[in-house]
Each structure stands twice: as C-alpha cells, then as structure tokens.
C-alpha cells in the first residue's frame, strides 16, 4: 500500500496538471458514476489527506479516490498514448487542453459534495504531511490502547494518517523494538512520532521511502524488504512474519539482534 508521502507527491503532480484548469474530458469508469458529467468544471485543487486523494471541483463537488495496494494516477500530455496499463484497468480520466490524468486500478472512486468530505476522511487521525499535524493528538490516540502492538498501532490511520508498512517496520527498527512490542512499552514514543514526520516530509517529493540516509534502492532501508539478509548494524539475519488479522494483515520485518521485545505468536 502506498505511504503518505507517495500520495502527497501524487496530489502535487495532479494539481500541477489539473489545478485551475477547466476539464475538457472527464470519464469515471465505475457503474455508480458512469453518467456523471464533469466536463466544463474547473479543478480547484487536489488535496492529499493521509492516503486519500481529494480532487475538488467547481460547483461544490469532490472526486475522492484511494490507491490502496496498487492503484495509481499517471499524467500524460493530452493526445499522448496512455501506457500505464490495459484499458480495462482504467477507472477515471480527467483532462484539459494540455494534460490528461488517468487513474489505473483505483479501488475507490466516488463523487461527493465537497461539504461531505468528512464522511470519507473525518475518521482519520492527524496527517503527518498535513496542516493539521499534531504529535500530541497522535500520541493521545495511540495511548488509548497501550497493549496494542506498535506495528499495528502505527498503521492504524485513525491514530495518525500517512504511515504504511514500510515506515511502520523501519520506525520500529529505529526505536529498537519489535513490531509486536505493546505501544505502551515503547521508549520515548514522542521521538518515534517526530522521526516519522521528518521522514515523510523529507521523502514527500522523492520515491522509494528511504530511511537510512542513502538513496540507492539496495541501501535505502534498514529491515523492510530484507528478509534473510544481514542487518546493516549487527549482521543478524532479518526475520519476517505476518502481523495482524485479515484483512489488515501485513508482513513485518525485524532484526532479532537490534530489536527487543516479543515476536510473532
């Protein structure tokens, strides 16, 4: 699932292509909105909210999309051939005289009144990359369930919005605890939240979610995606296991040498 920095960057690209311009093409390829007529409306702004994208249109409408695991938006010059995937994967098309944005494999596409955006994003915690970011509020929400495993707590968008599986695993490593460590036992949790915000902010306009300070893909992470490979700090083999309950299960990565705490049951 894309991290919050990926969604932030996608929103910036969409806003650059569409913001302030009148739609000359609009096609929502989902049954509920297949007949929606959006051409002639100006795109006011494209806003990220955690992992959600809100495309606000003239006339009080918002197009809400979510990328989930493998959805994505791709921007083309208008008239350019679309190469992001087969036609049956396209869920939304928004275009003007200069640029066309195509949404592939979008699992969530819905049109709603702008005044009703809270219906789809109002449950989210403070956004790590948003103007509403509050480490104090995020910590308050996280602390209401002190026995919850830290990896799961960080991934819960109701606590704080924007952390995906890459950052959840990397933050646990940097804190020196396993992802199964109860959040209430996390040493200096305020430092973990500060690190999370710094990482997402630093990576908001670059790909790959690097956390080690190195941008090379093979050296950009401490534990994520490195199962069986030696830890960069102690040399122990990185371990992996499934964490959480379906459908919210994620693969956890940790170093048994550097991270203390309980392991998978």
Residues recognised as catalytic = 2-3, 51, 250
Q: Which residues pair with 94 in a beta bridge?
A: 26, 101
Contact between residue 111 and residue 119 where contact means Cβ atoms under 8 Å apart:
no
Q: How far apart are CA 3 and CA 20, in angstroms?
A: 27
DSSP 122-160: TT---BTTSTT--HHHHHHHHTTSTTSBHHHHHH-TTTS
Number of helices (H), then strands (E), in the chain: 6, 10
The rounded Cα 182 to chain-centroid distance in angstroms is 23
Contact between residue 193 and residue 161 where contact means Cβ atoms under 8 Å apart:
no
Name the nearest CA neighbour of 95 among 26, 44, 45: 26
């Amino acid at each position: 699932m894309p991290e919050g920095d990926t969604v932030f960057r996608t929103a910036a690209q969409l806003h650059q292509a569409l913001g302030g311009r009148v739609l000359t093409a609009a096609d929502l390829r989902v049954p509920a909105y297949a007949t929606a007529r959006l051409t002639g409306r100006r795109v006011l702004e494209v806003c990220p909210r955690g992992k959600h994208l809100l495309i606000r249109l003239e006339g009080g409408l918002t197009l809400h999309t979510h990328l989930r695991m493998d959805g994505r938006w791709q921007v083309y010059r208008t008239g350019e051939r679309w190469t992001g995937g087969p036609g049956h994967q396209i869920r939304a098309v928004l275009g003007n005289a200069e640029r066309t944005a195509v949404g592939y494999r979008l699992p969530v596409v819905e049109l709603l009144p702008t005044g009703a955006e809270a219906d789809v994003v109002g449950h989210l915690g403070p956004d790590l990359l948003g103007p509403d970011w509050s480490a104090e509020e995020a910590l308050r929400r996280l602390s209401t369930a002190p026995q919850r495993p830290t990896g799961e707590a960080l991934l819960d968008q109701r606590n704080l919005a924007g952390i995906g599986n890459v950052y959840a695993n990397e933050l646990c490593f940097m804190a020196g605890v396993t992802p199964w460590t109860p959040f209430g036992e996390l040493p200096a949790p305020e430092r973990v939240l500060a690190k999370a915000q710094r990482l997402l902010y630093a990576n908001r306009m670059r790909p790959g979610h690097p956390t080690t300070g190195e941008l090379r893909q093979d050296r950009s992470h401490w534990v994520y995606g490195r199962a069986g490979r030696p830890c960069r700090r102690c040399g122990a083999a990185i371990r992996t296991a499934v964490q959480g309950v379906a459908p919210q299960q994620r693969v956890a990565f940790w170093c048994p040498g550097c991270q203390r705490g309980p392991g998978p049951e």
